[in-house]
Amino acid sequence: DAGVIQSPRHEVTEMGQEVTLRCKPISGHDYLFWYRQTMMRGLELLIYFNNNVPIDDSGMPEDRFSAKMPNASFSTLKIQPSEPRDSAVYFCASRLTTEAFFGQGTRLTVV
């Protein structure tokens, strides 16, 4: 298996623009997580899904953030409109049993 695949790896956008981050989990995994990593706050859980259903989105910072999982092999995290403080590395991870497997991350820079 190719592991968790995220795209793009890097994204630079202007403030106010819409940003969409994409994730393909490992086939057969039933949990999918979105994390955000910053120097100040470390790794924060934004939202997670079980069998494509959102379970807990309490970590989503604002209504500007939304996430979907239309099927078992694809998820998106959207920020609209983006702001400079959204600059961070966003990780997607999937899990079947105990440990989570992480993608390489998307480094988002909002200028």
Partner 1 sequence: AQSVTQLGSHVSVSEGALVLLRCNYSSSVPPYLFWYVQYPNQGLQLLLKYTTGATLVKGINGFEAEFKKSETSFHLTKPSAHMSDAAEYFCAVSDLRGNTPLVFGKGTRLSVIA
Nearest distance, CB of residue 40 and partner 1, angstroms: 10
The span of 18-26, 66-74, 78-86, 88-96 binding partner 1 (CB under 8 A) equals 88-96
42 binds partner 1 (CB under 8 A): yes
105 binds partner 1 (CB under 8 A): yes
Give Cα separations from 111 to 15, 43, 73 (angstroms). 6, 22, 31
User: Contacts by 98-102 with C-beta closer than 8 Å and gap 24+?
Assistant: 100/31, 100/33, 101/3, 101/4, 101/26, 101/29, 102/4
Nearest distance, CB of residue 70 and partner 1, angstroms: 21
90 binds partner 1 (CB under 8 A): no
